[in-house]
């Protein structure tokens, strides 16, 4: 199992805590070797005409004057306006920021912060990703910790995802020659990369090689290395030129985002929020300032924030926001009364956006956010509570939105077959409260919510019973902390599920109902003999908030080991029972590892 960790460039096997220490050590050794390797790497990274003449694909010309001036001293130009290397790659704002930092640190590029921001902004637009290309790997820049299921084969995992998230290479588009140069660059800088690439391939990634399913190596049937398999895959899966990019290059516009937006947000451990974000023009066409007001749907405190944001490539929002008054003293790690970073992707029609607003030393805390434009027409942004139970009468449902017209009747509200709106309890321009009767035989599933001309698709879960619960996240990583290094925390929730129309739990038609009340405890994960991790890794509250122990040698552990380890996070439902009358329970896997001694991050793109 691999997880895309909230610190890019670090992606560890979650079943072995000792690997964290070894890999952190290798990162430090790699950093120490940069000076020696930079001369070799420069050949793979720098400009020069030899690479340009080797290119057989059409490049993307660099037209920005400052970029040509600052980058053209090493990246040579051709008659078509291409700059060597640069014209044959595309990536996210974070990718270009990372590349420029590398140029400064390893190749002596001389750039002021203002110049660097300008170049990142230009390249993220002219040599960026189309929305369709960015969406599958958006979890990477949103700092989400997830199990990556997009690695197509074990050979590709060996070559590309043994040291970092697979989303790292998939966040780039390169020419065939550039993908090979990237492998050469890894060999020049990281000693372990060469051995990884040279390992015999164990399988091929299916359709890329003309097979409907992956081919498993048997007795040398695949005469390739893992590096060759990965190179072939990336050349086909992430080429420089794609139909999506060609189309977006013609469609991209100045982002017209000023106005009022509805915000629907959920924060693990804190519940759901709803409110508005007013976006106003900033000092440039792609820069904005914001005023956000959120109300807790579970009775918690309201949130008011001011902030700013920049839009890259016409759709990628990177911003910052902080509470208007500012937190008094040092807030608790999970307090939302502190600055957040915002990563959003707007739809091409600029009617909505989704993403994450996050904070924490390891970006472990964050809202899942949906924005919906409020342009004066009736619009639905969220509902509360999260579902309707089949067979229930007189159930209350809050429909939250904007510009609901006066004089609405129950006939103007449609929740789909099997659900009858029997009355409107209260009606305001931004909220309707309706009563709902649900037929006993209505199938479990997601229903649309319609108010007049406004529709919120697949937003209302209809359920019969809670068949099981699950802990989210189902696998997680926390980091020890102390005086020298900050801790990385964890927040867990229990979520209930209906078994769906087929009546079988854990199948594709299961219906997610929402967060359920549960008590959390830790349990030993038996990974080694005489496992004692439970005693040392940290503590969890009944509400699911995990605080790791301090880092450093512990004389109470054999061999003075650090307090790292792996444990189960166990949720026991307070009221929900199984068929035998026992409380519903579920587990998640938690790795508690050492601090991150090397940080890879690009906060600058939010400015």
Per-residue pLDDT at 328: 62
pLDDT score, position 32: 34
Same CATH fold assignment for domains 259-373 and 468-593: no
For residues 77-104, average pLDDT: 96
Specify the pLDDT at position 1: 38
pLDDT at 330: 76
Helix (H) and strand (E) counts in the chain: 14, 32
d(CA 103, CA 75): 11
Domain 468-593 has CATH 2.60.40.10: yes
Query: Which of these CATH numbers, 2.40.128.120, 3.40.50.2000, 3.40.190.10, 2.60.130.10, describes 259-373?
Result: 2.40.128.120
Of 204-213, 252-261, 429-438, 574-583, the one with minimum mean pLDDT is 204-213
- Does the global pTM surpass 0.85? yes
What pLDDT is recorded for position 484?
A: 87
Residue 377 has pLDDT above 90, yes or no: yes
State the burial class of residue 32 (Cβ atoms within 10 Å of its Cβ: 0-12, 13-18, 19+). exposed
Phi, psi of 324 (to 5 degrees): -60, -40
Q: pLDDT confidence of 71, banded at 50, 70, 90?
A: very high
> Any residues with CB less than 8 A from the CB of 39 and at least 6 apart, and which?
none
Q: Residue 36 has which token pair?
A: 């020696």
Q: How far apart are CA 172 and CA 166, in angstroms?
A: 11
Task: Look at residue 365 in the predicted model and tell me its pLDDT.
Answer: 96
Residue 501 pLDDT > 50, yes or no?
Answer: yes
**Residue whose structure tokens are 């601090």:** 595
Burial state string for 226-238 with b = 16 or more CB within 10 A and e = fewer than 16: bbbbbbbbbbebb
Domain coordinates in residue numbering, the chain? 3-247, 259-373, 379-463, 468-593
CATH architecture of 379-463: Sandwich (2.60)
Strand 454-463 to 388-389 pairing: parallel
Query: What is the largest distance, in Å, between two alpha-carbon atoms of the chain?
Result: 77
Average pLDDT over residues 156-166: 94
For residues 212-222, give the mean pLDDT: 65
Percent of the chain with pLDDT over 70: 87
- Report residue 234: phi and psi, to 5°: -65, -35
A 10 A CB-CB count for 178 gives 23
DSSP string covering 127-188, please? T---HHHHGGGHHHHTT--EE------HHHHHHHSSSS-THHHHTEEE-HHHHHHHHHHHHH
Residue appearing with tokens 């998640």: 588
């Amino acid at each position: 199992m691999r997880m895309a960790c909230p610190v890019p460039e670090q992606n560890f096997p979650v079943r072995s805590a000792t690997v964290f220490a070894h890999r952190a050590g290798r990162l430090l050794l790699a950093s120490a070797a940069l000076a020696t390797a930079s001369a070799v790497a420069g050949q793979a990274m720098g400009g020069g005409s030899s690479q340009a003449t080797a290119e057989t694909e059409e490049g993307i010309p660099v037209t920005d004057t400052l970029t040509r001036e600052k980058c053209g001293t090493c990246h040579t130009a051709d008659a078509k306006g291409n700059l060597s290397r640069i014209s044959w790659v595309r990536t996210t704002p974070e990718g270009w920021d990372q590349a420029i930092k590398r140029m400064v640190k390893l190749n002596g590029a001389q750039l002021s912060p203002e110049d660097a921001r300008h170049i990142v902004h230009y390249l993220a637009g002219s040599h960026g990703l189309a929305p369709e290309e960015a969406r599958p790997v958006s979890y990477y820049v949103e700092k989400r910790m997830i199990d990556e299921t997009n690695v197509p084969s074990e050979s590709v995992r060996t070559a590309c995802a043994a040291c970092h998230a697979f989303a790292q290479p998939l966040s780039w588009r390169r020419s065939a020659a550039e993908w090979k140069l990237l492998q050469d660059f890894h060999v020049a800088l990281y000693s372990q990369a060469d051995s990884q690439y040279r390992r015999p391939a164990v399988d091929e990634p299916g359709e890329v090689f003309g097979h409907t399913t992956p081919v498993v190596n048997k007795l040398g049937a695949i005469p390739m290395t893992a590096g060759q398999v990965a190179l072939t895959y990336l050349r086909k899966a992430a080429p420089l030129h794609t139909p999506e990019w060609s189309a977006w290059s013609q469609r991209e516009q100045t982002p017209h985002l000023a106005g009022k937006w509805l915000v629907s947000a959920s924060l693990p451990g804190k519940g759901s929020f709803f409110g508005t974000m007013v976006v106003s023009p900033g000092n440039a066409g792609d820069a904005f300032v914001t005023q956000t007001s959120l109300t807790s749907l579970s009775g918690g405190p309201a949130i008011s924030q001011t902030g700013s944001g920049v839009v890259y490539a016409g759709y990628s929002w990177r911003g910052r926001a902080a509470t208007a008054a500012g937190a008094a003293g040092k807030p608790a790690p999970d307090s939302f009364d502190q600055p957040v970073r915002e990563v959003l992707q707007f739809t091409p029609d600029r009617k909505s956006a989704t993403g994450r607003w996050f904070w924490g030393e390891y970006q472990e805390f964050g809202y899942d956010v949906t924005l919906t434009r409020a342009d004066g027409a009736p619009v639905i942004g969220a509902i509360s509570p999260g579902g309707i139970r089949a067979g229930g009468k007189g159930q209350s449902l809050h429909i939250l939105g904007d510009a609901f017209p006066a004089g609405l009747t129950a006939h103007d509200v449609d929740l789909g077959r099997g659900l009858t709106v029997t009355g409107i309890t209260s009606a305001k321009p931004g909220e309707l409260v309706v009563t709902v009767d649900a037929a006993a035989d209505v199938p479990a599933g997601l229903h649309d919510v319609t108010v007049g001309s406004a529709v919120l698709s697949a937003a209302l879960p209809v359920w019969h019973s809670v068949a099981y619960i699950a802990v989210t996240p189902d696998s997680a990583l926390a980091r020890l902390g102390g005086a020298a290094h900050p801790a990385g925390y964890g927040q867990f929730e229990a979520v209930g599920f209906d078994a769906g129309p087929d009546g079988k739990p854990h199948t594709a038609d299961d219906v997610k109902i929402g967060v359920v009340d549960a008590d959390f405890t830790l349990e030993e994960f038996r990974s080694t003999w005489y496992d004692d991790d439970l005693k040392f890794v940290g503590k969890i509250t009944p509400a699911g908030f995990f605080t790791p122990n301090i880092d450093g040698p512990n004389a109470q552990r054999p061999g003075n080991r650090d307090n790292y380890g792996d444990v189960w996070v166990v949720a026991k439902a307070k009221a929900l029972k199984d068929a035998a009358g026992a409380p519903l329970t579920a587990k998640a896997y938690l790795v508690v590892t050492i601090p991150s001694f090397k940080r890879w991050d690009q906060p600058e793109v939010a400015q």
